[in-house]
Amino acid sequence: MNRSILVTAVIALLIGGGIGYWLSYDKTARSITQQAQASEPKALFYRNPMNPAITSPVPAQDEMGMDYIPVYPEENTGSMAPAGSVRIDPTVVQDMGVRTIAVKRTTLSRNIRTIGRVTYDEQRVARLHPKYDGWVEKLFIDKTGERIKKGSMLLSIYSPQLVATQEEYLLALDNAEKLKDSPFADVREGAAGLLRSSRERLQLLDVPEHQIAQLTAERKVMKGMHIHSPFDGIVMSIGAREGQRLTPETELYMIADLTRVWVIVDLYEDDIPWVRTGDSAKMKVAGIPGRTFTGKVAYIYPYLEAKTRTIKVRLEFNNPGLALKPDMFANVDIQSNRKLDAIVVPSEVIVRTGTQEQVFVQRSPGQFEPRYVTVGVSANGQTQIVKGLEPGEIVVTSSQFLLDSESKLKEATAKMLEYSKSSSSASGDEAPPMQTESMQPEPADSGSAAAHEHQHDGGTVAGGRQ
């Protein structure tokens, strides 16, 4: 009897302990679930996984049975994140191939490579014309391409005007000698002035000094007056032959000094900020292999070529051996002396929208912010950032266009939410975050989240991007 009572008491104790443990466990599990639900952020709305423009205020499924994706406040309207910020799961970031790099401050410089054409130094080219009518009596230099020295005799010209001027000079010379001892000062000064003016007339007609000296010594009119070279150079062209009649319009010779040449290069507009007068330049030509010529930037032309959209720049090179020939083509490397202490990013970071440039800045792992920037010059794959970034910030270097499309969608959604809230507050009614898709209940036995979906006017209304 006592044994039965003892067994019954033990069984009752075990049953009571089990019931108490189950009740305690159920209470704890319910508390954890409630805490988890309380800590889980409430979804603003749910987005169609196949068409992000279609949204629903409650959980739903699309035609294929796929659950809508919840959109939470921190993904769209975080208090610290600007409009258009994108939050992506780190695994998805890796799958998208998103790469980043730190913004840095460095010295930016640029070497410019272009094609040039060798031409004459315009300051070392002479085109000789007579200052009187006449005829070519004799050519002393009669071949183009001939090298001549300064003062070399080129040709002899017969001119009636020169003959008359010589006679006037001889008369003035005789008169000055006869009247040099006159007791009247006015007579002496008049004779000396006449001699001086007649001599100056010969000089103005380019009669060389040695012929004036010969005329003074011999007192005999010379038939032919000589033309001499003004400097050392090359005869580039001859415009008259022996016996030919001459006028002041006749070009007798074109002489060029090729010991220094110009090289004209065309630079695009984005290269011009780097080039300054005095910058050094290296040049190579195909006709002189293995040799590098060193020159400098002498002049930047103040106008743009309309057809090529380029600006001409003039370089100067010494050419003592006359190796460089006019109209040669050359490969030119302009070594810019301009250096900038600038904030720079790789050029591929910049997303050019047509009106503005922007970059994507990584605010935290998986969160990216679009930011408009002001860009400066570019060189060697780097672009200067004038405004919008600071050294040390992390920017995206690849997959920017995927982030850009997502950012535009986020920004449009934020604007729609803001409009929805303002409309609700104006009407005094509490409205769901978005009413872009009406829902119609399914039959009660469906058991899915889509049971809340309803139809409006026989169709689904899609929320479009603004």
In the chain, what are the domain boundaries? 1-40, 41-96+399-466, 99-105+341-398, 113-122+257-338, 130-251
Reply yes or no on domain 99-105+341-398 having CATH 2.40.420.20.
Answer: yes
Has residue 424 got a pLDDT over 80? Answer: no
Are the beta carbons of 66 and 49 closer than 8 angstroms?
yes
Please list, in sequence order, all residues whose beta carbon lies within 8 angstroms of the beta carbon of residue 82, skipping any fewer than 6 positions away: 369, 370, 371
Query: Could you tell me the pTM of the whole model?
Result: 0.59
Q: What pLDDT, on a 0 to 100 scale, did the predictor assign at position 77?
A: 42
Q: Report the alpha-carbon distance of residue 193 to residue 451 in Å, rounded.
A: 124
Q: Report the alpha-carbon distance of residue 223 to residue 161 in Å, rounded.
A: 11
Q: What is the mean pLDDT of residues 234-257?
A: 94
Q: What pLDDT, on a 0 to 100 scale, did the predictor assign at position 180?
A: 80
Write out the H or E segment, with its range, that includes residue 412.
helix 400-427
Are the beta carbons of 241 and 140 closer than 8 angstroms?
no
C-alpha dihedral (408, 413, 414, 420), degrees to nearest 10: 150
In the structure encoding, which two tokens stand for residue 111, read together? 């070497």
Q: Report the alpha-carbon distance of residue 387 to residue 442 in Å, rounded.
A: 55
Query: Distance from first CA to last CA of the chain, Å, rounded?
Result: 86
Q: Percentage of the chain surpassing pLDDT 70?
A: 73
> Could you tell me which of 387, 408, 383 has the C-alpha nearest to residue 397?
383
Least confident of 81-95, 160-174, 223-237: 81-95
Q: Report the alpha-carbon distance of residue 405 to residue 367 in Å, rounded.
A: 15
Q: Report the alpha-carbon distance of residue 109 to residue 148 in Å, rounded.
A: 45
Q: What is the mean pLDDT of residues 379-393?
A: 87
Per DSSP, what are the bridge partners of residue 157?
A: 136, 225
Query: Confidence class of residue 36 from pLDDT cuts 50, 70 and 90?
Result: very low
Beta-strand pair 357-364/69-71 = unpaired
Q: Report the alpha-carbon distance of residue 333 to residue 280 in Å, rounded.
A: 9
- Residue 105, SS3? strand
Give the CATH number of domain 113-122+257-338.
2.40.30.170
Q: Which residue has the tokens 């910058």?
A: 279
Per DSSP, what are the bridge partners of residue 410?
A: none
**For residue 147, which amino acid is it?**
R
DSSP-derived letter for residue 272 is G
In the structure encoding, which two tokens stand for residue 374, read together? 């002001």
In the structure encoding, which two tokens stand for residue 82, read together? 């600007």
pLDDT per residue as tens digits for the range 206-228: 999 999 999 999 999 999 999 99
pLDDT per residue as tens digits for the range 6-30: 667 667 666 766 665 565 655 555 6
- Residue 21, SS3? helix
> Could you tell me which of 212, 211, 183 has the C-alpha nearest to residue 195?
212
* CA 115 vs CA 118, 145, 261, 267, 277: distances in Å: 10, 27, 16, 9, 18
> Could you tell me which of 344, 445, 365, 416 has the C-alpha nearest to residue 106?
344
Q: What is the mean pLDDT of residues 177-190?
A: 85
Beta-strand pair 153-158/134-139 = antiparallel
